[in-house]
Amino acid sequence: MSYFMEKDAISGKHARAYVKIGDRREELFYAKSLEATIEKNKVDVPVLGKTNTPQRSAGWNGTGTLTVYYVTSVFRELMSEYIKTGKDFWFDLIVMNEQPGSSTGKQTVVLENCNIDSVIAARFDASSDDMLEEEMPFTFNGYQIQDTFNTITGA
């Protein structure tokens, strides 16, 4: 019987993330968390003689949330430009997970053609000791795995 080795667990604190906007690439060292989900769109396929309604995949949607410390104006500036000109903005998010000392290696995922749904225009909270942060929901329409984790065998 094999067991998972605790040294192979991946800590989110060791992740690195980058945003690529046009030719500009910026490290998201001020990011706090990111979660991106791919959801399959399914359609009903009624079949004569079956009492259930089978489904099949008919596409997908990519959505996510990027939470950052409130220390950058990058996304507010892009939103301001959109408000002024109507020109939307798209970018890629590159996420790398790698745990030093783990045999899992590194995984690099690119979320392509991301588009922010909303940004906080301005913010303060004089009653809190917590650091200011903002949550930015987004969609994406491309997905690529550049590096994959190694297969682990356990002990």
Condensed to tens digits (0 to 9), the pLDDT of residues 88-144 reads: 999 999 999 999 989 999 999 999 999 999 999 999 999 999 999 999 999 999 999
pTM: predicted TM-score of the whole model, two decimal places? 0.91
The C-alpha atoms of residue 59 and residue 87 are separated, in whole angstroms, by 27
Per-residue model confidence as pLDDT tens digits over 38-97: 999 999 999 999 999 999 999 999 999 999 999 999 999 999 999 999 999 999 999 999
77-114: b (≥16 Cβ within 10 Å) or e: ebbeeeeeeeeeebbbbbbebbbeebebebbebbbbeb
For the chain, which domains are there? 6-147 (2.30.110.40)
CB 105 within 8 A of CB 150: yes
